[in-house]
Amino acid sequence: MYDFYECFKIMILKDKITIVTGASSGIGRACAVALANAGAIVVAASRRISEGEETIKLVKEAGGDGLFVQTDVSKEADVQRLVKKTVAHYGRLDFACNNAGIAQFPALLKDQTEAIFDEVMNINVKGVWLCMKHQIPHMIENGKGAIVNVSSIAGLIGCPEIPIYVASKHAVVGLTKSLAVEYASQRIRINAVCPGVIETDLIARGREENPQFVEQLSKMHPMGRIGTTEEVANAVVWLFSDQSSFVTGHTLTIDGGYVAQ
């Protein structure tokens, strides 16, 4: 059938080799599909094999191409293997969306454990640092590149009962700004997105258990709703594209006005 919108599908990232971590669900999966729609070749990385393979199926259904590499971003050997495999398979690395992350279950400070601290920091901070450590040398070799790290509004403001998550997302902003400054002259742009509350499986489950919970979250955003994974993915695509060619070290909120309050 004649697809009106297909005619206007602009391949602004045509054949760009792009790693997406945490691509097996939520924002990461939406980024993988949006990148494929924009013409990129997607290397999806996450710990869960069947969900990661499912993301590649969706990438292919969107007319794109890519492969899945099982990766735990908190382990240097895994990250090294992910980047090596990408370059071995496709010859170079253009872009990376370092999205893998975990939340912290809200709790009083006295109930927060060292194990929780280490787990959140290892995945959310060390994971992003390890990814950039192994991605950037290949971008330098390639003469340019772009990275988008997924932080959060919790990377810009404080939130009660989740201080470890908040600290981890502030750290993502710090890593982003520091390395953006360090590598700007080598034509590598590094930015972060800071989503507000986004509709994911977790939120969908929360809605089933307590519809008022999502209503409350929605009211906290001036636009009166929570965001969609596609809205985050659209911003990620823009940050990789030449449309944002003078943007680096930036933290882009996608939050319906949350942190503007």
Ligand X SMILES: NC(=O)c1ccc[n+]([C@@H]2O[C@H](COP(=O)([O-])OP(=O)(O)OC[C@H]3O[C@@H](n4cnc5c(N)ncnc54)[C@H](O)[C@@H]3O)[C@@H](O)[C@H]2O)c1
215-252 core/surface letters (b: 16 or more CB in 10 A; e: else): eebeeebeeebbbbbebbbbbbbbbbbeebeeebbbbb
The token pair at 204 is 């969908």
Identity of residue 158: G
Task: Provide the terminal-to-terminal Cα distance of the chain, rounded to the nearest Å.
Answer: 46
DSSP strand E in the chain: where? 17-21, 41-46, 65-70, 95-98, 145-150, 188-195, 251-254
Should residue 214 be labelled a site residue for ligand X when binding is judged by CB under 6 A?
A: no
Q: How many residues line the site for ligand X (CB under 6 A)?
A: 26
Residues 13-72 that bind ligand X (CB under 6 A): 21-22, 24-28, 46-48, 71-72
Should residue 195 be labelled a site residue for ligand X when binding is judged by CB under 6 A?
A: yes
Residue 14 vs 205, nearer CB to ligand X: 205
Distance CA 29, CA 68 (A): 12
Length of the chain: 261
Query: DSSP letter at 198?
Result: B
Which among 12-20, 85-93, 95-103, 233-241 is the span making contact with ligand X, rule CB under 6 A?
95-103
Should residue 73 be labelled a site residue for ligand X when binding is judged by CB under 6 A?
A: yes
Should residue 231 be labelled a site residue for ligand X when binding is judged by CB under 6 A?
A: no
In the residue annotation, 165 being an active-site residue is answered as yes
Should residue 249 be labelled a site residue for ligand X when binding is judged by CB under 6 A?
A: no
Which among 34-42, 80-88, 97-105, 135-143 is the span making contact with ligand X, rule CB under 6 A?
97-105
Cβ atoms of 70 and 43 closer than 8 Å: no
* Catalytic residue (choose from 2, 5, 90, 165): 165
Identity of residue 38: A
Residue 118 vs 141, nearer CB to ligand X: 118
Residues 116-135 that bind ligand X (CB under 6 A): 123, 127
Residue 116 vs 140, nearer CB to ligand X: 116
Catalytic residues: 165
Q: Catalog residues that contact ligand X under the rule CB under 6 A.
A: 21-22, 24-28, 46-48, 71-74, 99-102, 123, 127, 150, 152, 195, 197-198, 200
